[in-house]
Amino acid sequence: MINNRIEIVTSAQNPKIKNLLLLQEKSKARREQGLFVVEGRRELEHCLAAGYRVRTLFVCPVIAGSVDAFADAFVAGPATTCRRYENVPGTCDANMDSVASSVAGHEEKIAPATKGWGTCDAAGMTHVIIEVPETLYRKIAYRDSTEGVIAEVETKDRRLEELQLSENPLIVVLEAVEKPGNLGAVLRSADAAGADAVIVCDPLTDLYNPNLIRASIGAIFTVPTVAAPSEEVIPWLKAHGIRILTAQLQDSEWYYDTPMTGPTALVMGTESTGLTDQWRVAADAHIRIPMLGRLDSLNVSVSAAILLFEAVRQRQALSSRA
């Protein structure tokens, strides 16, 4: 039996709207409820493709089109043949092997992005869609250009040991990052450079902060991202044979003179205090970016982009010579 509930909410005083705003604003609420907020069609598509489960979807038909049209968008585009329609909106029954009439014509072509929608168990799948008017959507949306869709999504417990690395991993490590916007920008650069992972040590912001998700434009879902203590990350990197390069001004060499063609972790600290001594001591090499002006530091996201694409340059140059 399929259970698709569609509700219409018009008041900002509705408990569901109040809870959505609470999740947007309070990390404590996100932790307690195991939920976070994703705003925007592109971000939501990346979220679903990464295997996250949507609990509640808020749709403004005036902006997004009809609810049916929005649902259809998730079964359009590049298709994949599915034998079992797990966690696809309106496609699985208690036996998880039959297709609902709501997606007739798409029976053998279900987009990968739809995996993770709602929950499916012996009792059937339940997901809640809430229609909101444009005036209310403008009050609950963080930004204007989000295609009229906001979702409450179940969090995942991301663990260091679960990271799947390539044969020649490239990893970004950030220590005590404080600003979600900076972390989001680093994730965008990590995605563009094809990095294996971003590891956040001793974070001062949670990984499901809406500002982080917005700044990353969904890269938080495309780049494996883990939070862990430095005391765990350092031995983990060494056990995997990953060379630790710390970005620092003292006792360092130019970043472009430092080999990055092998397994590499680029480690950066905060702009104000830099890295702690435990990372400096653990490093295999210290690197720095030339500073030709009067200031002595760059934004951490800019530094990360420079170092990541130096690694890309070196690796591509090595590959072309092979």
pLDDT at residue 116, rounded to an integer: 38
Is 39 within 8 Å of 20 (Cβ atoms)?
no
pLDDT at residue 85, rounded to an integer: 30
Instruction: Name 280's bridge partners.
Output: none
Containing H/E element for 8?
Answer: strand 3-8
Looking at the domain that runs over 160-321, which CATH code has it been given?
Answer: 3.40.1280.10
Cβ partners under 8 Å of residue 116, min gap 6: 47, 48, 49, 50, 51, 52, 53, 54, 87
Q: Within 10 A of 233 (CB to CB), how many other CB atoms are there?
A: 25
Domain segments of the chain: what residues? 3-154, 160-321
Q: What is the pLDDT along the chain (322 residues), one digit of tens a residue?
A: 234 567 899 999 999 999 999 999 999 999 999 999 999 888 998 998 998 988 899 999 988 887 766 655 543 333 332 222 333 343 333 333 333 333 334 333 333 333 333 334 333 334 688 999 999 999 999 876 668 999 999 999 889 999 999 999 999 999 988 889 999 999 999 999 999 999 999 877 889 999 999 999 999 999 999 999 999 999 999 999 999 999 998 889 999 999 999 999 999 998 777 899 999 999 999 999 998 888 777 889 999 999 999 999 999 999 888 7
What's the pTM? 0.80
DSSP string, 290-303: ---SS-----HHHH
Give CA–CA dist 204/234, Å, rounded: 19
Would you state the structure tokens that stand for residue 199, as one six-digit string?
């590891």
pLDDT at residue 249, rounded to an integer: 85
- CATH class for the domain made up of 3-154: alpha beta
